[in-house]
Amino acid sequence: MTAVDSSAATAPSLPAVPFLDLSAQSIEIADEVLPVWREQLLTAAFVGGVEVDGFENEYAAYIGATHCVGVSNGTDALELAYRAVGVGPGDEVIMPGNTFIATAEAASRIGAVPVFVDVDDDQLLIDVDAVAAAITTRTRAIVPVHLYGQTAPVEQLRPLAAKHGIAIVEDAAQAQGASAPAGRAGALGDIAATSFYPGKNLGAAGDAGAVTTDDPGLAASVRMLQAHGSVVKYEHERVGVNARLDALQATVLRAKLRRLEAWNGARRSAAATYRELLAGTDGVRLPASRPDHDDVWHLYVVRVEQRDQVVRALGRAGIGTGIHYPTPVHLTAAYAHLGYRRGQLPVVEAAAARVLSLPMYPHLERGHQVAVADAVRTAVHAAGSRT
């Protein structure tokens, strides 16, 4: 980690704490990955093959799904999952407003219409009553987003989806390893999409993703669509895309998957440390956990007033932070044509002005968390005194 320049007159006394540090993960897996990469380079085994097959089988077994299809990235995974369950032009896809734009973008790419709904005020996960109110005759899918490493209430959505003949498409990009009483994220709905972008709990060395399901028909559809609509070379049954997982990324993912439980355990320990250090801090709302769910803390998100002032103060103190997400998707310029107005999703919008993601990764040291907590207390107090 880079040290703060102590020679500067205004330099903080705290160590620099990055929001995310992936170098320790890379060092941990390097001896395992580099020999395989060398063999792949020498044999030109780049697309498909043993590493891709191995990862698909191992990830499916890990989350408790029957099928896993590795794909190029998380956005493609969502699009392929939507298409597999029959979402098409003009269909409506219900999703929370506080998700990454890819959840909506993947629907828009196939001509479907994102329908944004509010979330609960505790975990900021999709609100089941809001979903029920949003269902129309055009609704084809519900997308519970497992946000921040916590599982959405899929078990409550299943009866609703079954009643209306609607598919549940999980967005599991932030929850590899998270579990609810019914099972792990990615194996709770009809089909699930996940991203292995480098910063995820299970991250590749570039872009990668996967679609998981227990339905062999859906799995076969995704596998065909991600290879130009073809099962046999040059025989194209559907109009598909080129969205395959490459072998180099599969090698990294296999090595990291073997460590994921330990790394998620380290995240849980870090979350417990933050709870200990920040408990009772005026002006800081800590994230809530449900006792029957096993969270994996992809992000540790607190809520504070005067958030932007707090962010600037933490930056001056050498503390890296993130905001997930500053503008709800329904209020972005990209979706202005849908006609949503400010105030329609009150919980989502209130949270967007207050959420603050603190440093969180498996190799985060307690000493750095102490520095983060001290800086948060100081920043929040200073921001409050100026209001």
pLDDT one-digit tens code per residue, 192-216? 999 999 999 999 999 999 999 999 9
pLDDT confidence of residue 384: 84
Task: Answer yes or no: is 12 within a domain.
Answer: no
pLDDT confidence of residue 15: 56
pLDDT confidence of residue 4: 37
> Residues 169, 234: one domain?
yes
Single pTM value for the model = 0.94
Query: Between residues 171 and 45, which one has the greater pLDDT?
Result: 171
> Residues 291, 242: one domain?
no
Cβ-Cβ contacts under 8 Å for 96 (sequence gap 6 or more): 116, 117, 118, 119, 125, 126, 127, 143, 144, 145, 147, 348
Under the banding of pLDDT at 50, 70 and 90, the label for residue 8 is very low
Q: What is the mean pLDDT of residues 365-384?
A: 96
d(CA 225, CA 71): 10
Domain end marker among 190, 223, 257: 257
> Does the pLDDT of residue 146 top 70, yes or no?
yes
> Does the pLDDT of residue 361 top 70, yes or no?
yes
**Nearest partner of 210 among 185, 240, 233, judged by Cα:** 185
For the chain, percent of residues with pLDDT exceeding 90: 94
Query: What is the overall mean pLDDT for the chain?
Result: 95
**Nearest partner of 246 among 36, 10, 84, 16, judged by Cα:** 36
In this structure, how many other beta carbons lie within 10 angstroms of the beta carbon of residue 241? 17
Domain end marker among 224, 257, 290: 257
DSSP string, 368-383: HHHHHHHHHHHHHHHH
Domain end marker among 242, 257, 272: 257
Query: pLDDT tens digits, residue range 57-106?
Result: 999 999 999 999 999 999 999 999 999 999 999 999 999 999 999 999 99
d(CA 253, CA 184): 18
> Residues 177, 271: one domain?
no
> Does the pLDDT of residue 380 top 90, yes or no?
yes
**Nearest partner of 160 among 179, 178, 141, judged by Cα:** 141
Q: Which domain, by its residues, includes 320?
A: 260-385
> Does the pLDDT of residue 122 top 80, yes or no?
yes
Q: What is the mean pLDDT of residues 135-162?
A: 98
